[in-house]
Structure 1
Amino acid sequence: MRKLCVIPGDGIGVDVTPVAVAALRILLPDLQVVEAQAGWGCFVEHGCAVPERTLELMRDCGAGLFGAVQSPAHAVPGYRSAILTLRQQLDLSVNLRPVRSWPGISPRPGVDLLILRENSEGLYIGREHMASPDQAIAERQISRQACETLAQRAAEVARQRRSKRITLVHKANVLPLTCGLFRDTCRAVLEEQGLGEQVDERLVDVAALQLVEQPQNFDLLVTTNLFGDILSDLASYWSGGLATAPSLNWGKGIALAEPVHGSAPDIAGSGRANPIAALLSAALLLRHHWQLEEEATCLESAVERFLNDAQGLDHGTQTTERVAQGVLTRLDLLHR
């Protein structure tokens, strides 16, 4: 029996996670679901953004679905982003972000790329200090072990996708130690895996330009934490924007699916939140964590059919319930 820990989080996370859970129940009728707390609201109520009980439930289930996180724009004593805490405490060291063209919402056909991002270190380790009243300093950490883990996952995904091109994205011309270690370690692992001929490189600024100009030319991009965060948000434009962007936080024997959109507190509870990112995140959980390719494809096909049938409709009228019913009805038919 498979287990799933659902962490709605803040804002519209509460609105979209039930839709993804309903889809997973169609595909996995015996799925056991437990719910846990995390996020800004949890911190306000309990003084802790990620309770130890939530970490225990995630470890027990091995699979999770996160809704959305709301963080203050200024430092709050004792608070650290719930999703960053979950990634680091559960060693979810790789982040997977697919970008593909979808009918009706993508501005260009033929885009099908995937960004693998190191998920545990870089500038996101949270080491900042005031060197003086007028100077703040942040540390960037790149380790050989984290780069090797990322590259090994890249090799796994490249074989699964039958990738013809693996692009290492860095800034080693300016950061020769940190980015140099990343580049050289990843390249060495990929060569050991027999994938050296598929590997090329891009400086991050060039990669950003080319993702805007020629996204269809990319296949699998592998990069560091901050660069991957920015590039994957940029690239999501080609798949309809952040409202439809899925992701998977991926560790060894544990994974946490996470729609990329924010908590959108202005529409929380209004029935206007788009659940497609949560649905597609659940598909990533099926494919990469549970190794259920057929079920993952089935869920993605249901989303694609709904979007194809919905072309020409006013997407401003596509409420959470309408999208949910549209996708779930098609999923039920496909899965029979």
Structure 2
Amino acid sequence: MLRTLARPLIATTPRSIITRSFASTNATLAVSPGEQAAQVRDQTKTLVTLIPGDGVGKELAESVKAVFSAANVPVEWEQFDLSGHVDLNDKLMKETLASLRRNKVGLKGILYTPVSRLGHASFNVSMRKDLDIYASTSLVRNMPGVPSRFKNIDLAIIRENTEGEYSGLEHQSIPGIVESLKIVTRTKTERIARFAFDFALKNNRKKVTCIHKANIMKLGDGLFLNTCREVAKEYSLNGIEFNDMIVDNASMQLVSRPQQFDVMVMPNLYGSILSNIGAGLVGGPGIIPGSNFGREYAVFEPGCRHVGADIGGSNIANPTAMLLSSVMMLRHLGLAEHANTISNAVYTTVQSGHSNTRDMGGKSSTTEFTKAVIAAL
């Protein structure tokens, strides 16, 4: 039996409109009379913002669109070809954010962030901070048909998206001296802790582990740990066990006995590291789905945030993570039947092993894998 996720704790307002694609900074959001008429006529489809991303993003997005079309999913895409390879996308970035604010729901690939370009903010981080999409969830579990070092892994990594070292608050005070700010607040820690415990309740999880470095960063990580402990007391009557673990020990424990973990909640940077470790345990980043939630908005993207620039355009990328992220999106939209149909088709395709991509031990292309999923619908 496949385990399915309950709908997350967030309200959404589906919007109906025709599909529009914005591929350059000259795009406009003006709606013509014809488009307005189409909006009135078509009340059966939900408009979702689509951001293919860089690297393998476009190939993965095309895979999702093909599967949705074959499965007759009542979703229309408003696509924005935003890229992190250029720093002249400010206008398109604003239009993308405006689309997400209208539609409330988005599906997103990973946008490239330059390593050494000063003054160029990560579009991924900016999007999460601007929309206050504060909770990231990456689902790490074994998939039948995918070789892995361990069995019986089924854990959720929940990370705070808007604070900590990963938020990019740094400056050079004088040449040769850089100050990086790590911000931890009780308010935002409390809401991510509640999100983690609510996730555990809704998905029949039994334990929440807080990951921290409070032995060294006694104030910042100490606040995070103590706040999680306080929230845990409120859920003790629900039978959810709580414990905590220092991040370096957690890294070792994750590669030694990953089955001990159920739900893990942590600050942003630790989540980035541990989600990559988790992906390595079960077969790689191509099979880890993910989601990001705020009070008003939800954006779904692969849970292990790899651009895949080295294989972009080669038609060998694994679309499983993107497809399963879109499945989470469909459940969020209340389209459970379509979600289950696509999820079962993906699992059936992977388990058969006939059309698996290279990272799963096969030889098939992205296109061939997608066609196999469509055939299994």
TM beyond 0.5: yes
Q: Would the aligned equivalents of 1:243 and 1:261 in 2 still touch at CA under 8 Å?
A: no
Q: Distance in 2 between matches of 1:50 and 1:56?
A: 10
Q: Does 1:6 align with 2:50?
A: yes
Aligned match of 1:236 = 279
Q: CA deviation at 1:38?
A: 2.2
> 2 CA distance for matches of 1:157 and 1:97?
12
Shift of 1:26: 5.1
> Secondary structure of 1:152's match?
helix
Counterparts of 2:124 and 2:186, CA distance in 1: 24
Instruction: Give the drift of 1:96.
Output: 0.2
Q: CA deviation at 1:311?
A: 6.3
**Counterparts of 1:266 and 1:123, CA distance in 2:** 27
Distance in 2, Cα, partners of 1:94 & 1:262: 18
Rg larger for: 2
Structure 1 segments of 4+ aligned residues over 6 angstroms from their partners: 311-314
Report the equivalent of 2:293: 250
Letter aligned with residue 205 of structure 2: S
1:255-309 CA distances to partner (integer Å, 9 max, x unpaired)? 111123533233222211211111111122233x325555444433322211110
Q: Structure 2 length normalisation: TM-score?
A: 0.80
- 1:61 Cα deviation after fit: 1.1
Question: What residue number does 2:371 align with?
Answer: 325
Other structure's SS at 1:272 match: coil
Distance 1:285 1:122 in 2: 27
Look up the SS of the partner of 2:52 in the other structure: strand
Alignment of 1:167-246 (within 5 A): 167-193=209-235, 194-195=237-238, 197-246=240-289
Greater helix fraction, Structure 1 or Structure 2 = 1
Taking the aligned partners of 1:326 and 1:146, their CA distance within structure 2 comes to: 43
Pair 146,295 (structure 1): closer, same or farther in 2 beyond 3 Å: farther
Question: Quick one: structure 1 residues 240 and 150, their matched pair in 2 at CA, closer, same or farther if it must change by over 3 Å?
Answer: same
Structure 2 residue 130 is the aligned partner of structure 1 residue 89: yes
Specify the code of the residue in structure 1 equivalent to 2:58.
V
CA distance in 1, matches of 2:68, 2:355: 28
Structure 1 residue 203, shift from structure 2 partner: 0.8
Question: What secondary structure is seen at the aligned counterpart in 2 of 1:40?
Answer: coil
Decide which of 138, 143, 153 is 1:102's aligned counterpart: 143
Q: 1:39 corresponds to which residue?
A: 83
Matched-pair contact (CA < 8 Å) for 1:49–1:81 = no
Cα shift at 1:316: 5.0
Equivalences for residues 306-325 of structure 1 within 5 A: 306-310=349-353, 315-325=361-371
Deviation at 1:132?
A: 4.0
| Cα 1:232/1:49, change in 2 over 3 Å | farther
Alignment size in residue pairs: 327
> Residues 163 and 316 (structure 1 numbering): CA distance in 2 closer, same or farther, change over 3 Å?
closer
Query: Partners in 2 of 1:136 and 1:10 — Cα distance?
Result: 29
Aligned sequence identity (%): 31
In structure 2, the residue matched to 1:153 is 195
